[in-house]
């Protein structure tokens, strides 16, 4: 009788230890990444922003009234809907549904981008079980070339806020 009770108690303790271990393992995925990895992702985001800004500047330099359709097509290939790591997001029409904010980060970032004064937004978030450094950069009608593609924009440059550039860098740890 005493042996039976001891075996039951042993099985109970073993199950408790196994349960706590699995809970600890599962919760480990909830811990945010270390600051060093976040800093690495932030620096990568800075490089990514510089690269994209250079591409946009080049696009503006080369787009004219004669090739505006090609310019629009070129930008749409860079900021295509398949790439979730860089997006142009806004609420000022005309927009496709895929250009609107798609989650809570993008809604908050777009609201801050449209505020006066416009504000960037950053966050470290887990999306689909992967950690990301996310940031937004407010965009305004900053170039006369904006109105070539966006016919609803006044001839610029103006201080009119139009949306945000969203960047997302995976954090590997």
Report the CATH number at residue 155.
3.30.450
Same domain, 150 and 82: yes
Q: What is the pLDDT of residue 4?
A: 78
Domain count, the chain: 2
Same domain, 56 and 117: yes
Same domain, 85 and 132: yes
> Domain residues for 146?
39-170
Tens digit of each residue's pLDDT, the chain (173 residues): 677 777 677 787 777 778 777 765 555 567 899 999 999 999 999 999 999 999 988 988 899 999 999 988 998 888 888 889 999 898 877 677 778 899 999 999 999 999 999 999 999 999 989 999 999 999 988 888 887 888 788 887 888 898 999 999 999 88
Same domain, 93 and 139: yes
Give this prediction's pTM.
Answer: 0.77
Cβ–Cβ contacts within 10 Å for residue 73, how many? 10
Spell out the residues 6+ positions from residue 28 whose beta carbon is closer than 8 angstroms to its own.
none
Q: What is the pLDDT of residue 105?
A: 96
Same domain, 99 and 133: yes
């Amino acid at each position: 009788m005493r042996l039976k009770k001891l075996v039951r108690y042993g099985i109970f303790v073993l199950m408790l230890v196994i349960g706590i271990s699995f809970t600890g393992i599962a919760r480990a995925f909830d811990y945010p990444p270390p600051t060093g990895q976040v800093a690495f992702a932030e620096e990568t985001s800075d490089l990514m922003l510089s690269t994209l800004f250079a591409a946009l500047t080049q696009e503006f330099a080369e787009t004219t009234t004669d090739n505006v359709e090609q310019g629009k097509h070129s930008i749409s290939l860079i900021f295509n809907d398949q790439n979730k790591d860089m997006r142009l997001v806004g609420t000022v029409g005309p927009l496709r549904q895929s250009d609107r904010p798609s989650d809570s980060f993008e809604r908050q970032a777009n609201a801050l981008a449209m505020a006066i004064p416009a504000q960037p937004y950053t966050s470290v978030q887990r999306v689909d079980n992967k950690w990301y450094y996310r940031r937004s950069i407010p965009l305004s009608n900053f170039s006369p070339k904006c109105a070539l593609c966006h016919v609803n924009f006044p001839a610029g440059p103006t201080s009119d806020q139009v949306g945000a550039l969203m960047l997302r860098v995976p954090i590997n740890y």
